[in-house]
A and B are shown apart, each in its own frame.
Chain A
Amino acid sequence: MAFATSSRSPTRAIGNPSRGPLRGMPVSIGLCCMWIAIVIFIGLSATWLAPYDYTHQDPLARFARPFVSAAHWFGTDYLGRDVVSNLLVATQTTLMIALAGSLICALIGTSLGLIAAHFGGWMDNAIMGFADAMAAVPFIIVALSVLAFFGTSPLLFVFLVGFANWERYARLTRGLVLSAREEGYAEAARIVGVPAMRIYLRHMLPNIAGPLIVQFTVNFPEIILLESGLSFLGLGIQPPETSLGLMVADGRTYLAIAWWLAALPGAVIVLTTLSISLLGDYLRDRLDARLR
């Protein structure tokens, strides 16, 4: 693995490049980071930030237009609920589900990839065969089938979302581990008598973390899209809970008279996925530069 020869730990280099912390970072990436920071902040504190209870209905103030009233910055919806409050809580929900899903996905994928690499043989074939099969079918179809048979429940939904694209982590991890195993340091650790688990976690993982983190930045926005897609279809988050996809689905009915109901949550989705994708691309380019 070329990472072994990189002059610096890739993970550390991301946050703190050797030549000044922000030097050479394009403005667009700075903006992406800013947006991501805002979204994370919302995710942590939406309930305190929300000016109203997001379920609070005000029948006298239905379809208030956005940007005109200080009481409802982003207007109100068809039940007179405050859009700002709904948006904050929905962003939080979507973010939490995407985060939990991404972590589950990374955990399942890296573990299975590691198991495949460690045991080899029929175990390797079985796991990789399963991965190939998963990759061949659009995950939304698999998700719909599962939801059809087992119904929707929040827990099932999180795990289902977390099951999307695990095969990418598995393939990546397997490849990285197989090549890291050929590195002298892994063999040296084996000869010293370091237990296999410790070799994988303490010796290899830091060396292969870079590509896995990049994979995470690719996967995270996709999971946000999957969550909003399923919620949009009415198969994900169920009312009274709310999520960005569900808000878009609600707003869709009133597209002709209240465009903001679908547009605002839609914009949050797009800005978030776009920011993470661009940041991921940027990180990958920087890592690639280190590989050369």
Chain B
Amino acid sequence: MSAPLLKVSGLTKAFRHKTGFFARPTSQLAVNSIDLELAPHERIGVVGESGSGKSTLGRLLLGLTEPTEGDVWFEGVNHKERRERDWKAFRMRTALVQQNPLSALNPQMTVGQQIAEGLLVHHVCNRNFAYERAAAMLERVGLPGAMMNRYPHQMSGGQRQRVVIARALILDPRLVVFDEAVSALDVSVQAQVVALLRSLWQELDLAYVFITHDLRIVRHLVDRIAVMYLGRVVEMGDIRSVYAWPRHPYTRALLASVPSLDPAIRNIEPPIKGERDASKVSTGCAFRSRCPFAIDRCAIETPELRHVGGQQVACHLADELPKSIASPGGTLSPRTAVAQEMAL
């Protein structure tokens, strides 16, 4: 494998909370010692519930917030060693596609002005040529070049998202972070945008970090997937192998909740119980309070990511949990028995 485009090591971000005037500030780890590598032209999906720290991870990757600990290297350069000028270069080679295309676009500027701005502020080319390139990019993302002079409110949601994508790609970046980029769109529009992103990836030298809570979308869009729970990556690996045999109980629960997936998995996998509670968990596995398989060891020892099968999993029981979750006609596995007990 070639040198990684992006490398993350021990990345941690703590947010301080203050509950009252005299209360001692408590800190919560939004992102907890994450290691990650991304090759050029690779696509990775980061999935998790809201509050799992996936958006914070995205912001850390782009240097929009300072990490509490750990390092991010992009094209071999550590974020911490970047000076003003290096940051400018970095901004030209990375891009972010945000969640809500309406607020992501400036209501007071035309679409063309916003797409061309990147070229202008970095003095890539003169004004006329910048607008020409912006129009070409607009057509590349499937919109007529005449829309250059429109304002965002004169467009539909799907069109706006295409504009945001065009703005992100205008500087020909190597890495694009998508933060819930298609979640706000209608399902039919989502499919079109996903198709667009696939074709763009095939044509351009792009790497994707695709942050989402929607497991249906990443399946068609990424090569690898990282599942996050309370700031930690609990499972990471090739998208096919993770979907075929999810090893972590949390991943299994997530996949089970996706309606369109294998009906054999659905309904039988034990539902995760209780509420997510970050504050009480200090040692051990963060997921244990909700895990139907939890054993004593989970409370004592924090599971590290280790290779199990085709992927990495942070679970003590990863290789003990069988792949097959009882098929409709099969015998009741011990876990389904537990599940039924819990349901009672």
Contacts and interface: CB of A to CB of B under 8 A. Distances in A.
Interface of A: 3-9, 183-185, 187-195, 198, 202-203, 206-207
A248 to B, nearest CB: 43
Contact of A198 (B87, B96, B121): B121
B53 interface: no
A204 to B, nearest CB: 9
A195 B122 CA distance: 10
Interface string B169-201: 001000000000000000000000000000000
Instruction: Return the 3 tightest CB-CB contacts between A and B, nearest first.
Output: A193-B91, A184-B104, A206-B108
Which of A3, A9, A187 counts the most B-chain CB atoms under 10 A from its CB?
Answer: A187
A193 B121 contact: yes
Contacts of B107: 3-6, 9, 185, 207
A7 B153 contact: yes
Nearest to A203: B106
Contact of B121 (A6, A192, A206): A192
B82 interface: no
6 contacts: A5-B107, A185-B105, A188-B167, A190-B64, A192-B117, A193-B92
A191 B122 CA distance: 12
B102 interface: yes
Nearest to B170: A192
A202 B96 CA distance: 20
A188 B98 contact: yes
A219 B221 CA distance: 55
B325 interface: no
Contact of A187 (B64, B108, B153, B171): B64
A183 B171 contact: no
Which of A7, A189, A190 counts the most B-chain CB atoms under 10 A from its CB?
Answer: A189
Contact of A195 (B106, B109, B121, B167): B121
Given A5-B107, A192-B121, A198-B121, 9 more contacts: A4-B102, A5-B102, A9-B107, A184-B103, A189-B117, A191-B64, A191-B95, A191-B96, A192-B117
Contact of B98 (A5, A187, A207): A187
B6 to A, nearest CB: 16
Contacts of A193: 87-88, 91-92, 118, 121-122
A59 B98 CA distance: 77
Interface string B61-82: 0101000000000000000000
Contact of A191 (B91, B106, B108, B153): B91
Which of A8, A185, A195 counts the most B-chain CB atoms under 10 A from its CB?
Answer: A185
Contact of B118 (A187, A192, A207): A192
Contacts of A184: 98-100, 103-105
Nearest to B94: A191
B164 interface: yes
Which of A7, A187, A192, A202 counts the most B-chain CB atoms under 10 A from its CB?
Answer: A192
B106 to A, nearest CB: 4
B225 to A, nearest CB: 24
Nearest to A198: B121
Contacts of A189: 106, 117
Nearest to A182: B103
Contacts of A194: 117-118, 121
Contacts of B62: 191
A9 B108 contact: yes
B31 to A, nearest CB: 18
B104 A188 contact: yes
B97 to A, nearest CB: 9
B218 to A, nearest CB: 22
Contact of A185 (B87, B88, B99, B106): B106
B70 to A, nearest CB: 21
Given A193-B121, A194-B121, A198-B121, A207 B96 contact: no
Given A193-B91, A206-B108, A4 B103 contact: yes
A18 to B, nearest CB: 12
A9 B109 CA distance: 10
A247 to B, nearest CB: 43
